[in-house]
Structure 1
């Protein structure tokens, strides 16, 4: 159930989109386009967009660069969450996470199960936090990106969403770094 509290102002996030692919360019990146369209239509800002190959170190390095950038609040990756040998996005994300958001993958699986049945078991979608930045690894299909945005991220990245959302706790994500 998603509820918007109209007494609260919308607070836009700065979101970076990273496509993981050995074969796509920006011109043919339908999944990345889907995410960019949805996040900007919702009122968020595109902070950056890149494509990297399915190389664990390269993916993790880009995630770390964006986590260190104060102009990036959220990172969405698309691609490389499957089961093949070249699918290493999840491992790269976990190399970077300080905390994993286990329920993100669970909720995504629930959403996918309703749409694609037991084929949902083939996705290793995950989410986490590092350096005060949210990171979400999404499958490489435009349909899966739509599902993740429309059913989960759209709501959790909206400060007005009740009873709680990711945006309202964003200022506290790196509080452990500020403690004396």
Structure 2
């Protein structure tokens, strides 16, 4: 079972938060606020925060810019993962991914099923890697952001988490790009 290994030292990561919405601003971005608060409470650093509209090309451009920034280790977006015509965040993420973390969406669905039952099928939460940066797309509800952080990300972004975690393999995410 998963656990924290107290003999290991915590390693903070630098996380950017992207809210995808046609209607939100920083004053009423509750989902972004949930993530920012949890990032700080866990001991990580907020590297950047932006709100952009539901435009696939703009989302992908922002994700690529953050992946190219050596001061950002993880990007978490919220919003635009549903089924409506304007929900294009998942497609934008997949435009950027080098590798998709297929099990992230599966585990998120399991967590969601325990909270909201079969309504969980309406989420397309996803995760992937690009340029040595982790990318996660979460639904736009504060509850979904809490669930994803509290049940998955807080553990996987903690170097002390056992049996394994995302942080311990960070140095090797871009090894295919290095000279041999």
Same fold, TM-score > 0.5, yes or no: yes
Take 1:179 and 1:56, find their aligned partners in 2: how far apart are those partners?
33
- 1:125 is matched with 125
For the aligned residue pairs, the C-alpha RMSD in angstroms reads: 0.5
- 1:84 is matched with 84
- Which runs of 4 or more aligned residues in structure 1 lie more than 6 Å from their structure 2 counterparts after TM superposition? none
Q: Does 1:134 align with 2:134?
A: yes
Alignment of 1:53-72 (within 5 A): 53-72=53-72
Q: Does 1:8 align with 2:8?
A: yes
Take 1:32 and 1:86, find their aligned partners in 2: how far apart are those partners?
19
- 1:163 is matched with 163
TM-score by length of 2: 0.99
Find the residue that maps to 2:8 and give its secondary structure: coil
Find the residue that maps to 2:49 and give its secondary structure: strand
Q: CA deviation digits over 1:117-171, x for unaligned, max 9?
A: 0000000000000000000000000000000000000000000000000000000
TM-score by length of 1: 0.99
Tell me, which stretches of 5 or more residues in structure 1 are unaligned?
Answer: none
Aligned length: 180
1:2 offset after TM fit, Å? 2.8
